[in-house]
Structure 1
Amino acid sequence: MISILSYAQTGKISGAVTDKKTGETLIGVTVRIKGTTKGVSTDVDGKYILQAIATGKYTLEFSYVGYQTKEVSDIEVKSPATTSLNVILNEANGQNLGEVVVKASFRQESVNSLYAKQKNSSVISDGVSSDQIRKSPDRNTSDVLKRVSGATVQDNKFVVIRGLSDRYNNATLDGASLPSTEPNRKAFSFDIVPSNLVDNLVISKTATPDLPADFTGGSIQIATKDIPDNNFISFGIGTGYNTESTGKDFISGTRNVSDYFGFDNGDRALPANFPSRNKFNSGLTATEQTAGMRALPRNWNTYNNTALPTQNYQFTLGRVKDFKNTNRFGTLLSLTYRNSQTINNDVIRDYVNVDYHDNIYRFSTSLGALANFAYTYGKSKITFKNIYNRNYDDSYLTRTGFNFDRNRDTRYFAFDLLQKSLFKSTIEGNHALGENNSKFNWSVSYANILNDQPDQKKVSYQRNPADIGTDNYAYVASTGTLSKENSTLFSKLNEDNYSGGVNYTLPLKMFGQLATFKTGLTSIYRERTFNARFVGLRANTAAANADQIARRPLSTLYAADAINSGAYFLDDISGDADSYTANSMTNAGYVMLDNKFGEKSRLVWGVRVEQFNVKLDATVPSPQTSVDDNYVDVLPSANYTYSLTPKINLRASYYRTLARPEFRELASSAIYDYELLSLQQGNPSLKEAKIDNADIRFELYPQAGQIISVSAFYKKFHNAIESYNQDSGSSRIVTYINSDNVNVYGIEFEFRKSLDFIAKTDFLKKTTFYTNLSIMRSKVEINNSGINLLRTDRPMVGQAPYIINAGLQHSFLNDKLNFNALYNKVGRRLIVAGGVFFPEIWDVPRDVIDLQLALKVLKNKGELKFNAGDILNQRLTQYYDRDLNDKYNFGSTDETISSYKPGGNYSLSFSYTF
């Protein structure tokens, strides 16, 4: 009983040991409690953990061959907590090898290690730690990314870095590349990763040879947690209110219990016995026509409810097992759930030939699961990390207004369900080799992307104003012809990704200084199938009851009695290019050196070679729809750092990167976007873009955790990939083009500091102000005479002229109460390049303010959070800038593509950790 009680009243000390100059973790460092025989060695990640330490203060001794021994005192251990201490070691020179013992206090060393971590990055980068994430109102990774210098987020999930659109970024999760989660764009939906499971997040804005080369704005590296320091169970529950939605009338189609769990019950899927496209082409008998119409999902009923508050739940389990031989096994399991019912009310669409007002009702469920396992033994570590996310979005749109082309009053209805899922699994091994701290790393990964869009059905009713006062003045369904505007879409995208890589790191001596040589190989294979069917019922205008049926309300328009009476024909308008298969193979190899010259200079340089092959075939391949492109690119890079003082860095870099067309951007498949009244279609002639980049940066670290920096950058694009409003017909088609040359340049400023420089008071010391400001300019040159553009002297698509992030943090009551205020604004951006009839589409800037108040309760094991998001609730607006005056003027010659208020979000959540 006494021994059990004694063990229960002990704590732990854990941390990592790194080289002061390089930031590299050190393997095999001996960590010992001074005056005892109790000690451990750092593992392959440079981490250590001392367990079962009685409450009190201790001194730790860190010793390693070739480095000065360090003693760190005043380390306080409290039961049952884990005290975190990261340590940096200096190389020993020939004269004092093994003779000098460096002494520091716990507080001094904590500050020193944070300084070293900030300064030792080999590239220009910005990041967010798990501690910063915990103190922000951010629920998921996309929210976290908004706080990074030069970064912003579109549609609450797609990341824009340095003002460049999301297609110019790449992302890795736990070291493996993340595939695009979107069927119609190159983008990763960052809202799928819960923020509390992120160990750290770094955006590299310059390239090194060991990073994938397909980025220009930034390479986003997310590391999730694996081995926890302690066993724990935590849960969280929250609810939220949206000012435009919660408590308001909510209209939707049929709702099933399974919808709340993120899965459709199957009623909306195209039946297995539905006639194939080949069968349609060969002709259907009357019996087959009737059977097909009856089999087609035809539930057009709508239901009125009240939009409920958002709800979210989270459960996390951490377990760690320590073995006598210092081996450790850890696991982290997490489940998240979120449901929301949102209304975009009175969405204005007033441009070219329409004046519409939409109401959009969206029922959304998100499920997430994470399962990470890790085992450390000797100088090796094996991790097995898995993530699954599923998003279920069921939308209902109603539209009223006037169509000037048809000279008709219009009512339009659309039901749309989109089910998206991502599963990703990675096995990774890290091994120390020999006694010289060399490392061997390997990984294999599999990912599956699924986008299932069953039963997207649409119908339009028209009324002639000239018939006012007559019996003909009534809304009549436009079912006489079938097009992508009013057909039912059944589409399914499935993509499998396989990747693997090996890396080898070797420390060595060059020019009398410690250097690091690194080399590696990677391969990524992607395989996608996309199938789309556009089917529907076309009115038999010769039927005796055709006019009467066309005047029916939505719920009975396609009723069984109308089908049985011969009022409709079954049609399939799918094209040969609407379905496709595609695959790509990327092979890469690199070599790089990390050299030190004297005490202050560092150069990380090398070359990466990537070979890329992409193939795409439509259902019926042709020279116009097929793609078979092969590229080999040599990509040099050099990053130079000069440490002017222990607190100041000067950086300069050059690197070459690239941007590759996504499958969807190459596919000729044309999908109708009923919200934006346009077709989206790829371009099989699209080519790879190459980019030359140069950066300089000044960094000042006034104190640990604080920074003042100024950066400048320049980018030269060759064959930049941009979206474009095609002007070839009367209907808008959004497609993609290569712009011959694009020049982008800008500056960034970042400031993060406590306010105690104003006055030495405790209040200002606990108050931190931070801001980052980016100002960018770009110019496009296009020599392609076959493209009908309104103008070529324009900025690059997606390039924001400025980005502002700012925040104020303060801690009360010994950090038990934390307040955080955040501000974000993105300058006017070009969303789609334009022709003459359908000109450029621009995004209107808006001010976003978020607030959070967090209170620790129940002996710091519980936390109560109140969040207020987007409290100004300014309109989200996209428009045609007809007068070319670079500003939006509602009611003027400018035309509104989309404008609505998303609503302010107010939420309350509680979490507790056992």
Structure 2
Amino acid sequence: MHCKNQTTIKLVMNTLRFPKWLSLSAVFLLLSFTAPFTSLAQTGSLKGTLIDSTANELIFGAIISSPEFPNIGAQSDFDGNFLIQNIKPGTYNFKISYIGYKEVLLNGIVVNAGQTTDLGTINIKIDEEVPVIEIVGEVATNTEQAVVQEVRAQDQVVSGISAEQISKSQDRDAAAVISRIPGVTLIDGRFIMIRGLSERYNNVLLNGAIAPSSESETRAFSFDILPSNVIDRILVFKSGAAEMPGDFAGGIIKVYTKANVDKNITSLGISLGYRTATTFKSFTRQSGYNADWTTFGNNARELPADFPKDLKNLGFDYNKSVEYSKQLDYNWNTKETTAMPDLRMNLLVGRNFYAGSVKISSINNLSYSNVYQSYKNDRFRYWNYDSEGKSETKLAFKDQYSVNSYRLGLMSNWSANFTKSVNKKILTFRNFYTRSAFNETQFRSGYDNEKTQELLFQSLRYGTNAIFSSQLEGEHGMRSNKDNLTWVVGFSQITRSEPDWKRASQTRQLGSSDPFRTVVQPGPTAQDGASFFTKLTEGVVMNSVDYARNMLNHTDSSRVRLTLKVGYYAEYKKRTYYARWMSLTDAGIDPSLKFLSPDELFQSQYLGYPNGLLLQEGTRTQDRYDASNTLIAGYAGANFVISKVTIDGGLRMENNRQQIESAVDGTPVIIDNKILTPLPFLNLSYRFHEKWVLRGSAMKTINRPEFRELSPFPFYDFNIPADKTGNPNLKVCDIINLDTRLEFYPTEAEMVAVGVFYKHFKNPIEAYLLQGASNLVYIYDNAPEAQSYGVEFELRKSLESFTNVEFMQRFSLLFNGSLIYSQINFGNDLTSYSNLIQKRAMQGQSPYVVNAGIYYSYRKTKLSGLYNVYGPRIFSVGDSQIRTIYEMPRASLDVTYSYELNKKTELRIGISNLLNSSIRLQEDGNNNRKLNEKDIDKNISQYRIGQNINVGFVYNF
């Protein structure tokens, strides 16, 4: 029998292409671990439902406790249900307390081992002798138990993480936090991938409003801008609803920041970080800019205020051009310094006070970080592929990166609670501002076999990114909480700037011992003596209103409820983007001067015509665009509960207008896409047991192209290196989503879930890598169709019920994994790119994602270990000339330790990236989708960033 089971599991693993590193023993261990959940026979449970006997309404928030045993108790949930678990067998007395109601005594309640004592429906009455008093309070939302119960109560497929769980790790920002959620993978330390789908298929809501995109290239919210200590909870919705945005396929991430505190707090956190590949080692940076650490280093690099808007307008007046050119900053100098330890500081202040009968709560946070990072990257390109896929090296480079990053963050959230015993009124005002900057130097050395040249490149880059967001939210309960109205108005603005990104190259004959010559072209280029200026400004205003009314309520004999929901979401987004680039060109300069290095040659003393360097404009009309997007969405839905079944359905209509104005070689390019999209949703839940929930959902969603993907603006990315350009003919992608999941809740804070999903994409948007006239070119286009399906497993479990050993009871486990299969099928329709592969995985789709964690907590000590790995995913789609490039699997392991030195001080130590796995891109040399074939599948890029050790203190005043 055992052998037969092994054969079956092997077959399943092979079918799903499960990663080889996960052995059969691990699968059996997982099965044996989950088996005991239903056989906890040492204790019993107690459950019941509370109803207001006068109004025939459910009672939420009542306290059920035992006078003899203070550690036994529970609170009724939104459906009036309560469940007390892990009670030792015996006879108990209980009382039910709720402000404004008569206390109910339950005496002689018998609890048996391995059984649940069901008290049924319990009626409680208003105490007419007690005057109605004003109650100001909030339900806890940031504990593990609260998040598990919120996930449990949802009608969609949801995963989440609480502030309590965040505190058990050393996660410093929302990016690290969200990587612990099932099916979520972190990309580049900032962006997230859900169910193996790239960031373009996710949507982020920040406190109810669509979060601003922090990137100019794609729709992606940079999660590292939010410090972890300001997060209340994060929920990831993998199925939608009528009241949620329809532009997603992977998931909708709802991030809630803290707006109130239980008590006055003031805490200061300071940490120092040691990077094994960087700290106390040689570090190269631009010299002469002393204000960079403030994140306001742009001022010294910007063009002068009176500098001509286009040097081409000067015509052939070269003397005038030289005169203006001498106003520029020709600081190509770098200096060697020593990388200091990373510095992070955080000040959190929370206050509660009353203004009359209104409770005011405020939480404010100031954070700053200064981080150094150095690493070496080996880059390659290949050519002359034979019939087997073997190739020769065309380009081989070694890159040396030195990046100094800075971040300044401010957050100020306020809430006013007018909650009374009947109606609730809560106003919340949330604001955050973050400003980040980076100073990056990159030196590249290597050779080009095609041109038989040995090459040196350098890139000196500084950029800033500022994001401001402000939201005012109101929540109103009316008619004894039968009606609920929530509204939000918000504004956000993003400003990205990269002034004077300098790039230069040097060359000599391959195999020669001659000195290198600095390349100076007769006309402007993007990489030889070039200066690149760019700025993006985007503003967003939004307003949403959501209204729900309970039409029916529970009765004594049946569980029936009908809630109607209507609302709208309106958003207007305006973006202005421009790029300007110039380069120093050859105007008859003495050839011997070209043996000078770029920092020596590119100086104002060598500017002159006709015997020197001439600054020439390379900017084209397509190097800028103006764009706007207007989204008007309305929805109507209903939530119907009958007995143990919940039906949640509705229709969302989204009217979106996307407008872009640009030009190509002087010819205007006008894009005006008006699309009205109906988006139906249906969610089903079957609660056939108090611990079990079966869910299913079906919905239609979409994925719209972004401004940058539509704009014809071409951009040379020095880091890849390749050109990137948009496609004005992109279509909207339509997606059909099907989900089902079975959930088991052993206790209030524990969860086990397994689910399957299927998605069908029409016109999915992808990035293709093609051979251009001189450089490789990334271009966006639609594939005909694609599909993705998979299975997910999630586990959140304490070891307390498995053992009587006190030490082992202090541990809890977290595990989640996803197995995903995706395929794009071009069939015979390869009109756009005749050399594309007919069948392959979707770009950016990982075949598996695994997160695992173990936590230890005892008195003043907390210890955790967190592991993550994702499967190989397509980085760029190639063809028979340029092979498809994959991002290879990378495993990470983080270990954290914290100890409460005293009531006010906590010590925190963390080691991240303990495995120091390489970050590697590999091409599929013969396009057979089998990787790591010797002499065929070769590395395109490979580097390691080293381990990071952080030691910090948090002091609570």
Question: Which aligned segments of 4 or more residues in structure 1 are displaced greater than 6 angstroms?
Answer: 18-21, 25-35, 68-73, 90-93, 110-115, 620-624
Query: Which residue of structure 2 lines up, in the alignment, with residue 80 of structure 1?
Result: none
Q: CA deviation at 1:620?
A: 6.5
Alignment equivalent of 2:331, drawn from 293, 299, 314:
299
Opposite residue 678 of structure 2, the aligned amino acid is V
With over 3 angstroms needed to count, the CA separation of the structure-2 counterparts of 1:111 and 1:408, relative to structure 1, is: closer
Looking at structure 2, the residues matched to 704 and 739 of structure 1 have their Cα atoms a distance apart, in angstroms, of: 45
Match of 1:61 in 2: 97
1:894 aligns with 2:941: no
Matched, 1:425 2:466: no
How far has the Cα of 1:913 moved from its partner? Answer: 1.3
2:216 is equivalent to residue 175 of structure 1: no
CA contact (8 A) 1:462 1:478 kept: no
CA distance in 2, matches of 1:190, 1:830: 23
Q: CA deviation at 1:448?
A: 0.5
Moved more, 26-35 or 408-417: 26-35
1:698 aligns with one of 737, 742, 752:
742
User: C-alpha distance in 1, partners of 2:686/2:946?
Assistant: 48
SS at structure 2 position matched to 1:625:
strand
User: 1:347 pairs with 356, 378, 397, which one?
Assistant: 378
1:397 equivalent in structure 2: 442
After TM superposition, the structure 1 stretch with the greater mean CA deviation from structure 2, 350-359 or 132-141, is 350-359
- Cα shift at 1:866: 0.6
The answer to whether the Cα contact below 8 Å between 1:127 and 1:200 also exists between their aligned partners in 2 is yes
Q: What residue in structure 2 maps to residue 131 of structure 1? A: 164
Residue 290 of structure 1 aligns to a residue whose secondary structure is helix
For residue 196 of structure 1, give the secondary structure of its aligned residue in structure 2.
helix
Q: CA deviation at 1:111?
A: 11
Which letter maps to 2:199?
D
Alignment of 1:802 with 2:843, yes or no, is no
Q: CA deviation at 1:750?
A: 1.1
Q: Distance in 1 between matches of 2:493 and 2:144?
A: 42
Give unmatched runs, 5+ long, in structure 2. 1-48, 68-74, 80-93, 108-117, 128-138, 384-393
CA–CA separation in structure 2 for the residues paired with 1:888 and 1:910: 45
Q: Does 1:817 align with 2:861?
A: yes
Q: CA deviation at 1:896?
A: 2.8
What is the SS of the residue equivalent to 1:257?
coil
Write the mapping of 1:87-106 to structure 2, written as runs, cut at 5 A.
96=123, 98=125
For the residue of structure 2 that corresponds to 1:228, the secondary structure is: coil
Q: Which residue of 2 aligns with 1:337?
A: 368
1:310 and 2:342 matched: yes
Q: Deviations over 1:379-412 (max 9, x none)?
A: 3111111011111011101011001232110000
1:351 touches 1:896 (CA, 8 Å); kept in 2? no
Q: Do the aligned partners of 1:32 and 1:62 also contact (CA within 8 Å) in 2?
A: no
How much has 1:453 moved relative to structure 2? Answer: 0.6
Q: Which residue of 2 aligns with 1:612?
A: 656
Amino acid across the alignment from 1:293: S
Q: Note the C-alpha offset of 1:248.
A: 1.0
Amino acid in structure 2 at the alignment position of 1:771: F
Deviates more, 1:732-741 or 1:552-561: 552-561
Q: Which amino acid aligns with 2:167?
A: R
> Which moved further from structure 2: 552-561 or 341-350?
341-350
| RMSD of Structure 2 on Structure 1 (CA) | 3.0
User: Is 1:744 aligned to 2:788, yes or no?
Assistant: yes
Residues 275, 948 of structure 2: 8 Å contact kept = yes
Which among 414, 418, 424 is matched to residue 459 of structure 2?
414
Moved more, 197-206 or 897-906: 897-906
Separation of aligned partners in 2, 1:559 and 1:282:
22
Q: Please tell me the residue identity of whatever aligns with 1:340.
A: V
Cα displacement string for residues 283-328 of structure 1 (whole angstroms, at most 9, x for unaligned residues): 1513211112212221111101001110000001111113553x20
Equivalent position SS for 1:441 = strand
Give the aligned residue type for 2:695: R
Superposition deviation, residue 435 in structure 1: 2.7
Superimposed CA distance per residue, residues 629-674 of structure 1 (whole angstroms, 9 cap, x where no aligned partner): 0111111111111112111111111011111111011111111111
- Pick one of 369, 375, 387 that aligns with 2:410: 369
SS in 2 for 1:715: strand
Contact 1:62 1:70 in 2 (8 A): no
Matching residue's letter, 1:786: S
Q: Could you tell me whether the CA contact under 8 Å between 1:624 and 1:684 is conserved in 2?
A: no
Give the counterpart letter for 1:626 in structure 2.
I
Task: For residue 762 of structure 1, give the secondary structure of its aligned residue in structure 2.
Answer: coil
Q: What corresponds to 2:691 in structure 1?
A: 647
Structure 1 unaligned runs (5+)?
1-17, 36-41, 47-57, 74-89, 101-105
Contact kept? 1:869, 1:906, Cα under 8 Å: yes
Equivalents in 1 of 2:448, 2:144: separation in Å? Answer: 65
Q: Deviations over 1:389-446 (max 9, x none)?
A: 1110111010110012321100001111121111000011111223343111111100
- In the TM superposition, what are the counterparts of 1:162-201 in structure 2 within 5 Å? 162-201=195-234
**Whole-angstrom CA distance in 2 between matches of 1:111 and 1:664:** 40
Is 1:665 the counterpart of 2:698? The answer is: no
- 1:629 maps to a residue whose letter is N
Distance 2:833 2:550 in 1: 53
Corresponding residue to 1:475 among 514, 517, 538: 517
SS at match of 1:392: strand
- Displacement after TM superposition at 1:757 (Å): 4.9
Residue 33 of structure 2: aligned partner: none
1:240-251 matches, within 5 Å, as: 240-251=273-284
What is the TM-score when the length of structure 2 is the normalising length?
0.83
Which letter does structure 2 place at the counterpart of 1:883?
A: N
Deviation at 1:257, TM superposition (A): 3.3
Q: Are residues 1:877 and 2:920 paired? A: yes
Contact 1:464 1:473 in 2 (8 A): no
- Look up the match of 1:5: none
Q: Structure 1 stretch 778-787 or stretch 790-799: which is displaced more? A: 778-787
- Deviation of 1:785 after TM superposition, in Å, equals 0.7
Q: Check conservation: 1:421, 1:450, Cα contact below 8 A.
A: yes
1:912 partnered with 2:955: yes
Aligned counterparts of 1:257 and 1:72: Cα–Cα separation in 2: 72
Which of 832, 846, 862 is the aligned partner of 2:876? 832
The residue type paired with residue 458 of structure 2 is F
User: How much does 1:266 deviate?
Assistant: 1.3
Question: Secondary structure at the residue paired with 1:289?
Answer: helix
The one-letter code sitting in structure 2 at the alignment partner of 1:807 is G
Contact 1:63/1:70 (8 A) holds in 2:
no
Deviation at residue 824 of structure 1 after TM alignment: 0.5
1:570 to 595, 604, 615: 615
* Cα pair distance change 1:660/1:507, threshold 3 Å: same
Identity of aligned residues (%): 29
Match of residue 141, structure 1, among 168, 174, 184: 174
* Range moving further from structure 2, 192-201 or 403-412: 403-412
Secondary structure of 1:142's aligned partner: helix
Tell me how far apart the structure 2 counterparts of residues 148 and 220 of structure 1 sit (CA, whole Å): 11
- CA distance 1:891–1:564, shift in 2 (3 Å): farther
Residue in 2 aligned with 1:206? 239
Query: Residues 511-552 of structure 1: CA distance to partner in whole angstroms, max 9, x if unpaired?
Result: 971221111011010000001111111012x34x1x112111
Distance 1:71 1:508, change over 3 A: farther
* Matched residue, 1:720: 764
Does residue 632 of structure 2 align to residue 590 of structure 1? no
2:898 to 826, 836, 854: 854
Report the alpha carbon displacement of residue 282 of structure 1 after superposing the two structures with TM.
5.4
Q: Deviations over 1:332-351 (max 9, x none)?
A: 11001111111122433344
Instruction: Determine if the alignment matches structure 1 residue 532 to structure 2 residue 603.
Output: no
- Per the normalisation by structure 1, the TM-score is 0.87
**Secondary structure class of the residue paired with 2:568:** strand
Q: CA deviation at 1:885?
A: 5.5
Structure 2 residue matching 1:237: 3-state secondary structure: strand
User: Residue 10 of structure 1 corresponds to which residue in structure 2?
Assistant: none
Q: Is 1:515 the equivalent of 2:562?
A: yes
Q: How does 1:721-800 map to 2 (within 5 A)?
A: 721-782=765-826, 783-800=829-846
Aligned to 1:295, what secondary structure does the other structure show? coil
Q: Are the counterparts in 1 of residues 506 and 516 from structure 2 also a CA contact under 8 Å?
A: no
- Equivalent position amino acid for 1:230 in 2: K
CA contact (8 A) 2:855 2:865 kept: yes
Deviation of 1:899 (Å):
0.8
> Which residue identity lines up with residue 434 of structure 2 in the other structure?
N
Decide whether aligned partners of structure 1 residues 27 and 661 sit closer, same or farther in structure 2, where only a CA change above 3 A counts: farther
1:822, distance to aligned residue in structure 2 (A): 0.8
The amino acid across from 2:521 in the alignment is: T
Per the TM alignment, residue 179 of structure 1 is displaced from its structure 2 partner at its CA by: 1.7
Q: Which amino acid aligns with 1:808?
A: I
